[in-house]
Structure 1
Amino acid sequence: MRFSKEIFFLLLLSIMVACGDSDEGGPVDNGPDDSVSIPTSGYTSPTSYANRTLVWSDEFESSSLNLSDWTYEIGTGSNGWGNNELQYYTNSNTSMQDGHLVITAKEQSLNGSNYTSSRIVTMNKQDFRYGRIDIRAALPEGQGIWPALWMLGSNFNTVGWPASGEIDIMEMIGGSGRESTVHGTVHWENDGQRAQFGGETTLSSGTFHDQFHVFSIEWDASQIRWLVNDQQYHVIDTTPAQLSEFRNSFFFIFNLAVGGNWPGSPNSSTTFPQYLIVDYVRVFQ
């Protein structure tokens, strides 16, 4: 999930507005339409690792999002959050069901947008430098659907993007048979320009919508490794000086975008609502 550098100051304004827990003018919609069938199968990661300690987690067992850890980002950002995304982010599209975080994308008109969804961040509340991160999630599907579980450098407010660095733990772009592939990527600044390095992995059968999978990174001072269900598929050496961003602290962003430069727009084959379902996020160090 990439930013464009020129939206930095407008994005800061959006974040300041989002620090509350309401979105004036947004729909309050927590009725039967938000009920979703939670998958009952899939991979589950260990609750402990040798020589590591669980330093933070959210198991999403509460009745509402824990605002001590998370903040809603509201609106459209600038230029669709720098990606020409089509949704308007509200806090009403986030719910808790049976111990799971559910972010819902809807075909719904609001403040000039034809779609609504949610985007939550831990900025200024929970950030981390190094460790193993496990996120168990079931993904949505459909043309124009773009779920992302990712991180930005905690100095984002000061230096902007991409100088802050970005770690995309998981991105998936729906449609055209792409729901069986996920991507792991980093973005950083190199000689004043955005640089990126990414990898991907594809399931041998089925899609990431069918059941839960665990999306992980193993991150230390010298490298970042990406794993799905504890199987590594991508790695980057972060020891070069121009990748020093990745030796700083980062915060989480979970969002479900609709449309954008990468997936393209929804079409007649896309069904709504769509759901990004997260069982837990855990950080071990």
Structure 2
Amino acid sequence: MKNILSNTLLYPATLLCATLFACQSGTTEQTANETSTVDSTTSYTFNTTPSWSDEFDQEGLPDTSKWSYDVGSKYDGWGNQELQYYTDADPKNVQVKDGLLHITALAEQKEGKDYTSTRLVSKGKGDFLYGRFEVRAKVPKGRGTWPAVWMLPTEDKYGGWPESGEIDILEHVGFDQDMVHISVHTKDYHHSIGTQKTAFKKIDDASGQFHTYRIDWTPASIKGFVDNVELFSFANEGTGSKAWPFDQKFHWLVNLAVGGFWGGEKGIDPKAFPATFVVDYVRVYDLKK
């Protein structure tokens, strides 16, 4: 990642390691730290009823009591050299219909950019410390698309990226169809210094079928799952915020980027647009006390 920006500056859409580009189809990589000195014997459980969710059952624009918008094309394409302009509540780019959220990237010029799309954020409307975070979604097809469901710190307790952390629940690039990624980023563990913590897996028909993506976030670890199968585990080593900034509230982001240092690494297929990212629901289940 070439540009690292503070969350207070609306920093990058996703910050996944460039070395992942060399991964081979059909493989799974686990690079998370398996060592923990923080109460590793505790068995954590979660409530079975969501404390916060959006089922996307109300037709029209997304619920403004839960979602706001990041708008524009700031900071060199949100720090990732992305090519889209994120619009503000434009029904061409975002709609709820038939019980599903649709985020659509269009090939149209706006404010000097050749594409438009949407980035939803729950900051100030849905902020969470620990819990089970789940999304059911279908990613778009097409070279140049870069959808993500992820989380950022609400207050940047330890400073700008990567000091205050990032959690990527789902990340996908259209040139590597059916490969999905889960990652975390911290000051000690991020791709810019070659210490990234990430996992990836090829799944069946990521664009044609809904799949469920989730992370279980506790004081001891962050674990990632695809269709209820554990893919990723990152332990709290007990060494402080440089390794574990995940003791503060985070919020959701749901977006569809176009191009960028990773999404556009193999170019953009103009026939891929309009491209639509479809989300069935997002849910939060509280960690049991």
Shift of 1:10: 4.4
Q: 1:189 — aligned with what?
A: 187
Q: 2:278 — aligned with what?
A: 277
Distance in 2 between residues matched to 1:113 and 1:230, nearest whole Å: 38
Q: Secondary structure at the match of 2:74?
A: coil
Q: Which runs of 4+ in 1 moved over 3 A?
A: 2-12, 49-53, 191-195, 265-270
Residues 136, 270 of structure 1: alpha-carbon distance in 2 compared, 3 angstrom cutoff: same
Question: How far does the alpha carbon of each residue in 1:59-81 deviate from its partner, in whole angstroms, 9 at most, with x for none?
Answer: 01112211111111110021100
Q: 1:236 — aligned with what?
A: 234
Distance in 2 between residues matched to 1:271 and 1:124, nearest whole Å: 34
Distance in 2 between residues matched to 1:6 and 1:51, nearest whole Å: 35
Residues 112, 275 of structure 1: alpha-carbon distance in 2 compared, 3 angstrom cutoff: same
Provide the aligned length of Structure 1 versus Structure 2: 244
Q: 2:110 — aligned with what?
A: 110
- Contact 1:4-1:161 within 8 A present in 2 as well: no
- Contact 2:144-2:269 within 8 A present in 1 as well: no
Q: Secondary structure at the match of 2:106?
A: strand
Shift of 1:50: 6.8
Residues 8, 133 of structure 1: alpha-carbon distance in 2 compared, 3 angstrom cutoff: closer
Question: How far does the alpha carbon of each residue in 1:10-50 deviate from its partner, in whole angstroms, 9 at most, with x for none?
Answer: 438xxxxxxxxxxxxxxxxxxxxxxxxxxxxxxxxxxxx97
Q: 1:89 — aligned with what?
A: 86
Percent of pairs with identical residues: 39
Distance in 1 between residues matched to 2:227 and 2:275, nearest whole Å: 23
Larger strand proportion of the pair: 1
- Normalised by the length of structure 1, the TM-score is 0.79
Q: 1:32 — aligned with what?
A: none
- Contact 2:154-2:250 within 8 A present in 1 as well: yes
Across the aligned residues of Structure 1 and Structure 2, the Cα RMSD in angstroms comes to: 2.4
Residues 155, 61 of structure 1: alpha-carbon distance in 2 compared, 3 angstrom cutoff: same
Listed as ranges, the gaps of 5+ residues in structure 1 are: 13-48
Q: Secondary structure at the match of 2:10?
A: helix
Distance in 1 between residues matched to 2:160 and 2:2, nearest whole Å: 9
Residues 78, 183 of structure 1: alpha-carbon distance in 2 compared, 3 angstrom cutoff: same
Question: How far does the alpha carbon of each residue in 1:105-150 deviate from its partner, in whole angstroms, 9 at most, with x for none?
Answer: 0111111000110001011111111111110101101111100000
- Contact 1:163-1:245 within 8 A present in 2 as well: yes
- Contact 1:140-1:209 within 8 A present in 2 as well: yes
Distance in 2 between residues matched to 1:166 and 1:8, nearest whole Å: 10
Q: 2:56 — aligned with what?
A: 60
Residues 50, 5 of structure 1: alpha-carbon distance in 2 compared, 3 angstrom cutoff: closer
Distance in 2 between residues matched to 1:230 and 1:284, nearest whole Å: 15
Q: 2:21 — aligned with what?
A: none
Shift of 1:270: 4.0
Q: Secondary structure at the match of 1:244?
A: coil
Distance in 1 between residues matched to 2:212 and 2:261, nearest whole Å: 26
- Normalised by the length of structure 2, the TM-score is 0.78
Distance in 2 between residues matched to 1:10 and 1:248, nearest whole Å: 19
Return 187-196 or 118-127, whichever deviates more.
187-196
Shift of 1:261: 0.5
- Contact 1:143-1:270 within 8 A present in 2 as well: no
Residues 9, 216 of structure 1: alpha-carbon distance in 2 compared, 3 angstrom cutoff: closer
Residues 72, 158 of structure 1: alpha-carbon distance in 2 compared, 3 angstrom cutoff: farther
Distance in 2 between residues matched to 1:281 and 1:191, nearest whole Å: 27
Q: Does 1:225 align with 2:226?
A: no
Question: How far does the alpha carbon of each residue in 1:147-169 deviate from its partner, in whole angstroms, 9 at most, with x for none?
Answer: 00000012238822212210000
Q: Secondary structure at the match of 1:189?
A: coil
